[in-house]
Structure 1
Amino acid sequence: MTTATQPRTDPHDSPAARTPLSRDWWVLVGLLLVNVAVAGGGSIASSSGVDGWYAEAAKPAWVPPNWVFAPVWTVLYVMMAVAAWLIWRRHGARTARTALVLYGVQLALNAAWTPVFFGAEQLGAGLVVILLLEVALVATIVAFHRLTPWVAWLLGPYLAWALYATTLNAGVLALA
């Protein structure tokens, strides 16, 4: 019998044993493509704001240069997709349903923040969205940890960056 905190020990009981490895890789590719879509949507939604109102906005002293964001988000999106894939692969969609739904919720909130903050210039609403994102992300990390603790750590850098982004959002709002 498998507990929620331990991976399955019977190799015939794992999702990997029930599905060909090539299908497993396609799930990873699918998760990466969903994250690429979120990142691409964010890039499109933020392009006019970053070069427009945000360039002229008063910002806190701890804002990094704009070029930092793309490489950081690239690494984070890959780590997020790999974490979700590992949870799916080790536990299957049925056992990991709650964790994977929470992953989808936080990803949807992630996708919503950029158009709200940069596109619509709604700094207060952006702060609400990013705070909801953090709640969903913490819930996702807890759910992943219950299934496979070390996989949850893959989301740690994302949580740290989201918290940092929250300080930036709040700082721009306070200075507006």
Structure 2
Amino acid sequence: MRIISERSCPAGRSAWKSHAVAAGAVAVTALVGGRAVDADSAWYKALDKPPWQPPPWAFGAVWTPLYASIAWAAGRGLSRSRRGEHARLAASLGTNLALNAGWNYLFFRCRSPRAGLAGTVLLDAGNAHLIVRTAAIDRTAAVALAPYAAWCLFATALNLSLVRRNPRR
């Protein structure tokens, strides 16, 4: 049975292509962003971290399913979008993924919790925009992005704590 408001793929666009493009973009984001992370550096180890910071292994355990959900939601949204909204959703997704990978460079490569905080605040705004844009196309896909947005808000709070606890860095 098909729900009346549910959209199928517009003519000429196959769902598997949209999912493949989304998965590829998310994989590139994870690889590029991950290359900047150096949690074993003396600089990072010397930061005064809050007691509520998750253990190092938790980040990989959380990001793996989050990236999978982003890829799924993006593929679903892109495959169900119409011509004009398809380009806008793709642009929102691309911007969001660039902000996602960019945080790692701002924080770890620049060794700047302050720059990281600015980056994660921008990412939070990008997440809100991506969810709103996705919801206009497919609510299920938008709901699938909620854990990603929630984790990024948690990361913003953690980054803010690092800025406050390490004022000279």
TM-score bracket for this pair, using the shorter chain length: 0.7 to 0.9
Count of paired positions: 161
Q: Give the Cα separation in 1 of the matches to 2:29 and 2:96.
A: 11
Percent same amino acid at aligned positions?
Answer: 33
Give the TM-score taking structure 1 as reference length: 0.84
- 1:96–1:147: 8 Å Cα contact kept in structure 2? no
Give 2:36's aligned residue: 45
Q: Which AA in structure 1 matches 2:26?
A: N
3-state SS in 1 of match to 2:81: helix
Match of 1:36?
A: 27
CA distance in 1, matches of 2:6, 2:163: 44
Aligned partner letter, 2:70? M
Corresponding residue for residue 18 of structure 1: 12
Distance in 1 (CA, whole Å) between partners of 2:136 and 2:18 is 22
> Normalized against structure 2, the TM-score is what?
0.87
Give the Å deviation of 1:135: 0.6
CA-based RMSD: 1.6
- Equivalent of 1:170 in 157, 160, 168: 160
Q: Deviations over 1:74-106 (max 9, x none)?
A: 111111111111011112453332222112111
Q: Secondary structure at the match of 1:60?
A: coil
Query: For 2:28 and 2:140, how far apart are their aligned partners in 1?
Result: 27
Aligned residue identity for 1:160: A
SS in 2 for 1:51: coil
Which position in structure 1 is the counterpart of 2:141? 151
Contact kept in structure 2, 1:141 and 1:155, CA below 8 Å = yes
Distance 1:116 1:130 in 2: 9
Cα distance in 2 for residues equivalent to 1:61 and 1:96? 43
1:104 is aligned to 2:104: no
Displacement over 4 Å in runs of 4+ = none
What is the SS of the residue equivalent to 1:147? coil
Distance 1:118 1:59 in 2: 15
Kept in 2, the 8 Å contact 1:83–1:151? The answer is yes
Structure 1 gaps of 5+ residues are 1-5
Gaps of 5+ in 2: none
Residues 78, 89 of structure 2: 8 Å contact kept: no
Return the match for 2:108 from 109, 118, 123: 118
Distance 1:93-1:87 versus aligned 2 partners, 3 A rule = farther
CA contact (8 A) 1:7 1:147 kept: no
